Structure 1
Amino acid sequence: MIRHIEPSEHIRMRPQMYFKTLFEEKTLDSLPLEIIQYAIDQKCTIITVNVYADHFSIEFNTGMSLEIYEDYDGDITQAEVTLLKITKSVALWKKKAQESGLGELIGLIRINATSEWCKLLTYSNGQKGEFLFKEGTTETRTICGSDEKEKYTKIIVKPDATIFPNLTINPKTLQKKIDDIHHKLNGLDIQLHIHT
């Protein structure tokens, strides 16, 4: 009998295949860069990157849809789909990555699948969504009404050290890549904060 393997499980089993550039560069810089690319695609104007000893976060001023995703058999929001499913947009992101000079991008499903945990907080259209993912699956989901008028998203990722042994984010090289994005996108407000 052939066992069906979920995409997230396949990614965890073969990280060298899905993260070729990351392993070649020997840094985790491309993980926050992929989320930055996603934020840019959502037409945000402000991005804040925070790097801590064992995790990082990306905050940006657009929300992720908390509507139910119609093309999926089950109760899943569009925000979750972004972090859990391989969609047509992955090919588009790769094309945009080449055009923007960001290099080989990884895709949010791959980042989520290889994280020890990943948290998502988003405000969109009068709703607040909070999600906790572990190893690429949704652990908890809370959606409620919100009086918050501003759209906002924060994604926090703790990369799994067993998948990326001895790899960390290099603040200097990440800052250089962020400076390049800032320059190419005519002054997009993007800031990097290192917390040691």
Structure 2
Amino acid sequence: MKKKVEYSLSAPLIPIEPYEHIRMRPQWYFTELFEEKKLDSLPLEIVKYAIDQNSTIITVNLYTDIFSVEFNKGMSLETHHRYEGDITKAEAVLLEISNYVSFRKKDDLQSGLNGSVGLIRINAASEWCKLLTYSNGQKGEFHFKEGETETRTICGSDEKKNYTKITVKPDATIFPDLKINPKTLQEKIDNVRKKLNGFDVQLVTEIY
């Protein structure tokens, strides 16, 4: 006869941050990635965000163990009202779980991209992540480590164009032996471009 297990509520529950849960249970948040056994979906997640921000030019850059996504929209450097302190709206995009529509409220299947919980997945599962953005006469630079903000620098800028670059080094302890495959990533980008009628998404790679 099995022994009855008794549970006690006397010990307080210890809350954990969303990024901590993502790092503890990456298989829950990256199902497609682990099924495919490659990291192609990581840059595509940022491409989706850029599309939803109405970017018209998006470039994905691949290097040996890092990747970056650039797009011609700035991210707001205004203070986020839901956070204490001086956390900006741009920073919060990489810190909070959020749902966003795909390609200006079009169906996910039309864009060739699936739903998500926001860019926090990418940030939390990275060894480090950098955000550079120019928005409305300001320049913001942020460095994150394992999902947490390490440094934050905001200053005025003479740059007239709005622009963002997100650079990511995926954490090899979370994704052991998994890499981005330039060939299959290019195929997925071509599929997105085709479904969005020639939308300008380019792949630049140093991996061959």
TM category, shorter: over 0.9
- TM-aligned CA deviation for residue 104 of structure 1: 5.0
Q: Which residue of 2 aligns with 1:181?
A: 192
Aligned to 2:160, which of 149, 169, 181?
Answer: 149
- TM-aligned CA deviation for residue 99 of structure 1: 4.2
Name stretches of at least 5 consecutive residues in structure 2 with no aligned partner. Answer: 1-11
Confirm or deny: 8 A CA contact 1:11 1:113 kept in the other structure. Answer: yes
Confirm or deny: 8 A CA contact 2:133 2:139 kept in the other structure. Answer: yes
- TM-aligned CA deviation for residue 101 of structure 1: 2.3
**Matched residues in 2 for 1:42 and 1:76: separation?**
20
Within-5 A mapping of 1:113-128: 113-128=124-139
Deviations 1:73-123 (A, max 9, x none): 332100011000013x25x45985344222354631011001000000000
Q: Give the TM-score of the pair, scaled to structure 1.
A: 0.94
Q: CA RMSD in A?
A: 1.6
**Matched residues in 2 for 1:106 and 1:43: separation?**
19
Matched, 1:131 2:157: no
Aligned to 2:28, which of 17, 22, 33?
Answer: 17
Matched, 1:86 2:97: yes
**Matched residues in 2 for 1:186 and 1:65: separation?**
28
Matched, 1:75 2:69: no
Corresponding residue pairs, total: 194
- TM-aligned CA deviation for residue 13 of structure 1: 0.2
Report SS of the residue matched to 2:176.
coil
Task: Check 1:98–1:185 CA distance in 2 against 1; reply closer, same or farther (3 A cut).
Answer: closer
Confirm or deny: 8 A CA contact 2:97 2:117 kept in the other structure. Answer: no
**Matched residues in 2 for 1:123 and 1:130: separation?**
9
Confirm or deny: 8 A CA contact 2:93 2:118 kept in the other structure. Answer: no
Deviations 1:39-78 (A, max 9, x none): 0011111111101110100000000000001122332100
Matched, 1:64 2:75: yes
Task: Check 1:73–1:156 CA distance in 2 against 1; reply closer, same or farther (3 A cut).
Answer: same
Report SS of the residue matched to 1:84.
coil
- Structure 1 window deviating more from structure 2 (150-159 vs 95-104): it is 95-104
Report SS of the residue matched to 1:158.
strand
**Matched residues in 1 for 2:131 and 2:113: separation?**
24
- Aligned-pair identity in percent equals 70
Q: Which has the higher helix share?
A: 1
Aligned to 2:114, which of 103, 108, 130?
Answer: 103
**Matched residues in 2 for 1:150 and 1:104: separation?**
30
